[in-house]
Structure 1
Amino acid sequence: MLDATDTPVFAPATMQRSHGAGTLAVKHSGGRSRIDRLHQSGNAKIRIPRTHGHALEAVLINTSGGITGGDTLKWSLDAGSHTHTIVTTQACERIYRSTGETGMQQANIRLGDGSSLFWLPQETILFDRGRFRRELDVNVSGNACFLGLEILVLGREAMGETVDEGHFHDRWRIRRDGDLVHADDLRFVIAPENDMGGPARLGKNRAIATLVSVTPEDAESLDLKVTAVRTLLRDTEGGASRIGEDGKGKLVVRIAAPSSYLLRKQLIPVIRLFLGDHAMPKVWNL
């Protein structure tokens, strides 16, 4: 019981953090790519829908509905030799407002010789005052083929939201047989004193995409693909470059657009070009 001179003391409220981890290994069996090992914990779930193609399609799900400060999400993917895998997400990943901590997502991907893996998550939406760090580490063996995509959208367009403050750091490392072939760090520190609309930053754009293709193709084949991508991106704020020599080259595509709708419209034909005989993930068409 308190008297008039006592001051009540309340313990500070602590928010529960979400932590999830999912592992998927794919093997070649009976002429098809099949699940070899699957493990999921916390809010990380993996679903394998039925498809008519010869690639295994995996859908990653964050059941917490988004990421905020202190949350962690880890994915591990192992594409065995001569397998074909397409990985996507059930929906856009939402990065909610943080009180100071940074949310974290890590993806570790390994490709065996003769395999292909297409990493095609849907958009990541950074809310105002969101803080997020994302890491993508890929190890490619032999003549495997990897296609990686990441999309960032600043604010919820339907709500008319702008991002006045926030932090975003995207880190890519791709290696072939142990040799580093691609390193990319993209970092935005958004604050009132930083002009994100300046010509050296995003200008009028609020959606950006990076796509990297690492294949054993020769320089001539890659140059033909670059030409095809540039044709698709004509009259857009996008571009494509081929970097590297025969058998160790890569193709990098970057696109910026005022909205995620316009970005998708420009991006999907480019993805289909790289997918070849494989179909777009079903969730991208919903």
Structure 2
Amino acid sequence: MYDAGTASKSELETHVLQRVNGEARLRFRQAAGCTRLADLYQAGSAKIRFPKVYDAPPTAVLINTAGGLTGGDRMVLSIGADAKTHAIVTSQTAERAYRSAAGSAEVTVGFTLEPGAFLEWLPQETILFQASRLKRRISAALTGDARLLMLESAVLGRKAMGEQVTSVLFRDSWRILRDGRLVFADDLRFDGDPARFLKGKATGHGSLAIATMVDCALDAEDRLARARSLLDDLTGTRTQAAASAWNGILAARFVAEDGQALRATLTRFLTGYRSAELPRVWHC
């Protein structure tokens, strides 16, 4: 068996590796005043589990049983929330993008929220290993006053393990529509040596971990003071962050020296911003 994260390029090129092809769909509905699972489909390496939670919304935990992604792998996730539901979707652990011998791994995530729905997308970080290639597309269709709170974070290698990433390709595209109108678009592209494109003060200042949180809510501007107050408390940490809000969108950006610093910051910020603890898998 070959590990795409440790095998040499020649080994990867001379052996035909099985490709990941995962797909998962789930939808939440309201019944008797509670949010419940309405539909569930899972295939390939994409699995979903529902741990017992108390005093918290239903929580779905995504699992990639392949253990990571490399060139040619595909993962498709579709998540729906019916009217007046509140649910959380997270991941069991960090996703890993490993060295690619050919092609890119592709991840597609789609959200559909009906009026009054509140969905929290809180996956753990994605670790980008040396020579990895990952393309991700995230789209959301919100109706009426639906609210979508999204977080995505990426870490360039594991600093504690002495790993150094000198070549990587990462493309991340977000599109959020409300009532058919585009309200948020964001595109991120890393291609080459991170030491080159992250060295500037406006592009990370040498940081190896980044995150974006977007709160798409009609009253997003009213939440800005709270978000900035929480960010002010980051003084003295190894993370820098800022937040802004406009037209029903609150966006916060984070850059940190390494994944450990970023996770500590996100845990602290999100717990305060949401006035609730993060899913238990974040602490495992």
What is the deviation of 1:198?
A: 3.9
Letter of the aligned partner of 1:140 in structure 2? L
Does 1:281 pair with 2:257? no
Gapped regions of structure 2 (runs ≥ 5) = 1-12
Residue by residue, what CA displacement relative to the aligned partner does 1:35-72 show, whole Å, maximum 9, x if unpaired?
Answer: 10000000000001110124110000000000000000
3-state SS in 2 of match to 1:263: helix
3-state SS in 2 of match to 1:26: strand
Structure 2 match to 1:251: 250
TM-score normalised over the length of structure 2: 0.89
Structure 1 match to 2:40: 38
Structure 2 match to 1:104: 106
Alpha-carbon spacing, 1:161–1:218, altered in 2? closer, same or farther (3 Å): closer
Instruction: Name which of 156, 159, 163 aligns with 1:157.
Output: 159
Letter of the aligned partner of 1:103 in structure 2? A
Identity over aligned pairs, percent: 39
What is the deviation of 1:143?
A: 1.1
3-state SS in 2 of match to 1:134: strand
Letter of the aligned partner of 2:120 in structure 1? F
Letter of the aligned partner of 2:282 in structure 1? W
Residue by residue, what CA displacement relative to the aligned partner does 1:6-33 show, whole Å, maximum 9, x if unpaired?
Answer: xxxxx96422211000000101112211
Contact 1:82 1:114 (C-alpha < 8 Å) held by counterparts: yes
Instruction: Name which of 70, 90, 93 aligns with 2:92.
Output: 90
Quote the Cα distance in structure 2 between the aligned partners of 1:223 and 1:193: 32
Letter of the aligned partner of 2:176 in structure 1? I
Contact 1:232 1:270 (C-alpha < 8 Å) held by counterparts: no
Structure 2 match to 1:8: none
Letter of the aligned partner of 2:279 in structure 1? P
Q: How many residues get paired? A: 270
Contact 1:206 1:257 (C-alpha < 8 Å) held by counterparts: yes
Alpha-carbon spacing, 1:30–1:171, altered in 2? closer, same or farther (3 Å): same
3-state SS in 1 of match to 2:174: strand
What is the deviation of 1:200?
A: 4.3
Quote the Cα distance in structure 2 between the aligned partners of 1:81 and 1:232: 36
What is the deviation of 1:239?
A: 0.4
Structure 1 match to 2:64: 62
Alpha-carbon spacing, 1:29–1:237, altered in 2? closer, same or farther (3 Å): same
Letter of the aligned partner of 1:282 in structure 2? R
What is the deviation of 1:162?
A: 1.1
3-state SS in 2 of match to 1:280: coil
What is the deviation of 1:193?
A: 9.0
Alpha-carbon spacing, 1:195–1:55, altered in 2? closer, same or farther (3 Å): closer
Q: 5 Å matches for 1:109-258?
A: 109-191=111-193, 194-217=196-219, 219=221, 221-235=222-236, 236-244=239-247, 249-258=248-257
CA RMSD of aligned residues (A): 1.9
Structure 2 match to 1:260: 259
What is the deviation of 1:257?
A: 0.6
3-state SS in 2 of match to 1:172: strand
What is the deviation of 1:75?
A: 0.6
Structure 2 match to 1:7: none
Letter of the aligned partner of 2:226 in structure 1? K
Structure 2 match to 1:3: none
Structure with larger Rg:
1
Contact 1:43 1:62 (C-alpha < 8 Å) held by counterparts: yes
Q: Which moved more, 1:55-64 or 1:139-148?
A: 139-148
More helix by share: 2
What is the deviation of 1:139?
A: 1.1
Letter of the aligned partner of 2:66 in structure 1? S
TM-score normalised over the length of structure 1: 0.89
Alpha-carbon spacing, 1:218–1:194, altered in 2? closer, same or farther (3 Å): closer
Quote the Cα distance in structure 1 between the aligned partners of 2:175 and 2:99: 27
Q: Structure 1 runs of 4+ off > 6 angstroms?
A: none
Quote the Cα distance in structure 2 between the aligned partners of 1:146 and 1:218: 11
Q: Which moved more, 1:126-135 or 1:157-166?
A: 157-166
Contact 1:32 1:54 (C-alpha < 8 Å) held by counterparts: no
